[in-house]
């Protein structure tokens, strides 16, 4: 994910950049969940991972349609600053090994921990987008993505208590 994130070239346009970022973020989540389904022990976590794969793929399809229809237009400096702060925090978190320090070596717990971090990043970037984005169709999709990420976070926390 970090390699793809580092390779991305943002335009400063909130609508275009959000679609680009969240699409790649979802693709990373799909890949992670597909691998996790093969090794998870908890049936509940497997079901959640399978559901996430399906929902994220549907959202990716919508995001790819949006990418075909929009082009970067205006840079919004406030959005660029907020986006850069979030991206820098993600990179620092990754480079500092903060996530790895939380991992337990137990596949179910580790998947949930990674997904909680992943959902938090999606929430942060989506909240920033909703402050600055103008495209009403994308804003509606972002609101659904935000609501789903918040629900997924609560479900993951509940499942972690049971695992």
Predicted local confidence at residue 4, as pLDDT: 62
Q: Is the pLDDT of residue 155 over 70?
A: yes
Signed CA dihedral, 23, 12, 70, 120: sign only = positive
pLDDT at residue number 103: 81
- At residue 1, the pLDDT reads 55
How long is the chain? 163
Q: How far apart are CA 162 and CA 152, in angstroms?
A: 15
Which of 17, 45, 44 lies closest to 113 in space, CA to CA?
45
Q: Is the pLDDT of residue 22 over 60?
A: yes
Has residue 64 got a pLDDT over 80?
yes
Taking alpha carbons only, the member of 20, 48, 22, 16 closest to residue 112 is: 48
pLDDT of residue 84: 86
Domains parsed from the chain with CATH numbers = 12-162 (1.20.1260.10)
Q: What would the two tokens of residue 103 be?
A: 């991992």
């Amino acid at each position: 994910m970090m390699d793809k994130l580092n390779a991305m070239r943002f335009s400063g346009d909130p609508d275009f950049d959000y679609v680009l970022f969240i699409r790649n973020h979802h693709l990373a989540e799909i890949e992670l969940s597909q691998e996790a389904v093969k090794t998870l022990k908890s049936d509940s976590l497997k079901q959640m991972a399978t559901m996430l794969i399906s929902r994220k793929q549907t959202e990716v399809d919508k995001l790819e349609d949006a990418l075909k229809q929009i082009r970067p237009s205006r840079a919004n400096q406030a959005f660029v600053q907020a986006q850069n702060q979030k991206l820098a925090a993600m990179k620092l978190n990754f480079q500092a090994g903060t996530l790895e320090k939380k991992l337990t070596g137990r596949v179910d717990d580790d998947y949930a921990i990674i997904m909680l971090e992943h959902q938090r990043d999606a929430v942060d970037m989506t909240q920033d987008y909703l402050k600055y984005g103008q495209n009403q169709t994308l804003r509606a999709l972002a609101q659904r993505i935000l609501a789903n990420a918040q629900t997924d976070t609560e479900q993951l926390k509940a499942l972690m208590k049971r695992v």
